[in-house]
Structure 1
Amino acid sequence: MSKKPPPAPPSPAGSVEPASNVPRAEYTVDELARVTDTTVRNVRAYQDRGLLAPPEKRGRVGVYDDSHVSRLKLINHLLTRGYTLANIQDLIMAVDEGHDLRSILGLETAIGGRWSRERPKKYSLVELLRMFGGNASPGVLSKAVDLGLLERDGLSFVSSNPTALAAGATMAKEGIPLADLLDAVSIARPHFNAVAKALVDLVVHQLDRYDADALPPPADVPVLVDAIWRLRPLANVLVESEMNRALEEASGDYLGDRTAAIMEKKLGHPADSPSTQRAKTKKSKARK
């Protein structure tokens, strides 16, 4: 499917579009349902009720974008908080009539849109076995599903992040046991969730200038939307930079410890590893 940005679909909520230089992802109805954790039936029903803008038509195929993703996330969020579809429909009607709620809904795409531009990809069991060199046992696949790395789709599996899946397959082929790799993901995920929460707080900090129970003035919305779209990729850069720093430090510690052990065993010459030296430096500073 072409990556050329489609013209904006008519929106019943008058959502403010993202900055023009931000690429827009595209989805089929099945992909849209999958990335928003809903069903195709619900997507159709929301369109029929006027809660969701219709897709752009390209021949017989309907093409959705991130404005639909953020709207569905908003609907799901309101439903989990106890609002009915009738309540949400009243909300959308109020927006159409020009009430102040338009301001907060104008930010939905900037804040609630997907951060990843990857398109979900379906794999057969044979394809997964080929990718992972025959190491994709039923237990491993079940754990990957539990972690949300794969989703069952009949006899096939769907990955919402094919690039990460390919990276895991390469690591498995290099000899890293899949079970250990999934354990590492499970251990690291709460820490990533905490980092993500901190960075999202930074990005949407632009809203903190307003009272918690007040909406931004409509005139401020375009500036806020533009600022949030510019901050989002910078948050990703910060995460990558810090992850690279941590990986370099961890691998350096391991190499230093291994080298020190070799020197002590083979040469009879004890030596402090980089990690030991850093620990001593911290203790020394603490005493001062």
Structure 2
Amino acid sequence: MDNGAEAREYRTEELARAAGITVRTLRFYRERKLLPPPRREGRIAWYDSRHLARLRTITALLERGHTLTGIADLASTFESGRDVGELLGLGEDSAPATWTEETPVRLTPEDLADYFAGEVTPENFAAALELGYLATDGEEIVHVSRRLLDVSAALVREGVPLAAVLKAGREVRKHTTAMAEIFTDMVRTHMSGAATDDALGDATDDATEDPAASLERLRPLAKSVVEAELSMALDRIMRAEKDA
């Protein structure tokens, strides 16, 4: 058998010992479908590093107060989630996306539990997958935006339930998509020929710049408009709250 960590396989007793649990506990987890099926070679069950990682995750989640039923539901949701390539619209041979400004964050399930203590339920996990905040990559979870992850965690720490954060995120998504479409339509309508960028102090001689390139070049202007309008909207609301 290959001695490399990546290819290491374990018999039942070896896996239990590596995970720090009993063989009976391992078999119980397998019966509860908390583990993917092992590879069979005759009557021998062979497990690999993915099974060991799953067992360590189960232990970590139990220590954080999750029930076995909740972990089983979470594992089922995790395994049925979209992978990173599907989320970004990339094929297996596609290069990583360069058109996004967001930084993905790789997390283990226990990392996610630490970010949102007590809030990582199967329902919230499924909602985050459906919204596109989370994707899967093998045994890892990927949050598609460091900024959104940090903001969501900060709101939960302030006492806002994660379910409410995700519900708000779904509503914000609708409005930001509409704003992006407004900006895109404006660029397509008024920048079909020469592309000058006086506002950014950067002119280009390329008279056939495609819409995608124009959008990428003018992205900072769109972001500034949205940030300023949101800031002023919050000003109006806070003023009204003080005057109430």
Kept in 2: contact 1:144–1:150 (CA 8 A): yes
Is the 8 Å Cα contact of residues 118 and 160 (structure 1) preserved in structure 2? yes
CA distance in structure 2 between the aligned counterparts of 1:138 and 1:32, rounded to whole angstroms:
19
Q: CA RMSD in A?
A: 3.1
Q: Say whether 1:205 aligns with 2:186.
A: no
Structure 1 gap segments, 5+ residues each: 1-30, 44-54, 56-63, 67-113, 211-217, 258-288
For residues 108 and 155 of structure 2, the distance between their equivalents in structure 1, rounded to whole angstroms, comes to 20
In the aligned structure 2, how far is the partner of 1:195 from the partner of 1:156? 33
Change (3 A) 1:65 1:184: closer
Is residue 220 of structure 2 the alignment partner of residue 233 of structure 1?
yes
Q: Structure 1 residues 224, 182: closer, same or farther in 2, change over 3 A?
A: closer
Alignment check: 8 A CA contact 1:35 1:160 kept: no
Of 57, 78, 88, the match for 1:36: 88
The alpha carbon displacement at 1:241 in A equals 0.7
Residues 151, 158 of structure 1: 8 Å contact kept: yes
Equivalents in 2 of 1:142, 1:150: separation in Å?
A: 9
Partner Cα separation in structure 1 for residue 123 and residue 178 of structure 2: 28
Asked whether 1:170 is paired with 2:154, we answer yes
2:231 equivalent to 1:244: yes
Contact residue 188 and residue 211 of structure 2 kept, 8 A: no
Could you tell me which residue of structure 1 aligns to residue 107 of structure 2? Answer: 123
Residue identity opposite 2:221 in structure 1: L
Residues 1:150 and 2:134 are matched in the alignment:
yes
Specify whether residues 120 and 226 from structure 1 end up closer, same or farther in structure 2 by C-alpha distance, changes over 3 A only.
Answer: closer
Q: CA deviation at 1:179?
A: 0.8
TM-score (norm: length of structure 1) = 0.46
Q: Which has the higher contact order (CA 8 A, sep 6+)?
A: 1
TM-superposed deviation, 1:206: 4.0
Q: 1:137 to 1:240 in 2, by over 3 A?
A: same
| In structure 2, C-alpha distance between the alignment counterparts of 1:125 and 1:32, rounded to whole Å | 16
Q: Secondary structure at the match of 1:171?
A: helix
Counterpart of 1:188 (choices 149, 172, 175) is 172
1:136 — aligned with what?
Answer: 120
Runs of at least 4 residues of structure 1 off by over 6 A?
A: 223-226
Superposition map of 1:1-288 within 5 A? 33=85, 36-40=88-92, 42-43=93-94, 66=98, 114=99, 116-208=100-192, 220-221=207-208, 228-257=215-244
1:110-154 Cα deviation digits (max 9, x unpaired): xxxx2x322322111111111112222221111111111111334
Structure 2 vs 1, CA of residues 137 and 33 (structure 1 numbering), >3 Å: closer, same or farther? closer
Distance 2:177 2:170 in 1: 11
Q: Distance in 2 between matches of 1:65 and 1:185?
A: 23
Deviation at 1:195, TM superposition (A): 0.9
The 1:223–1:191 alpha-carbon spacing in structure 2 relative to 1, beyond 3 Å, is closer
Aligned residues: 152
Q: Is the contact made by 2:87 and 2:132 (CA closer than 8 Å) also made in structure 1? A: no
Residues 84 and 142 in structure 2, CA contact (< 8 A), matched pair in contact too: no
The structural deviation recorded for 1:207 is 4.0
* SS at 1:192 equivalent: helix
C-alpha separation in 1, matches of 2:173 and 2:155: 18
CA 165–254 in structure 1, closer or farther in 2 if over 3 Å, else same = same
Residues in 1 aligned to 2:118 and 2:85: alpha-carbon distance in whole angstroms = 31
Is the 8 Å Cα contact of residues 121 and 160 (structure 1) preserved in structure 2?
Answer: yes
Q: Secondary structure at the match of 2:132?
A: coil
- What TM-score does the superposition give when structure 2 sets the normalisation length? 0.53
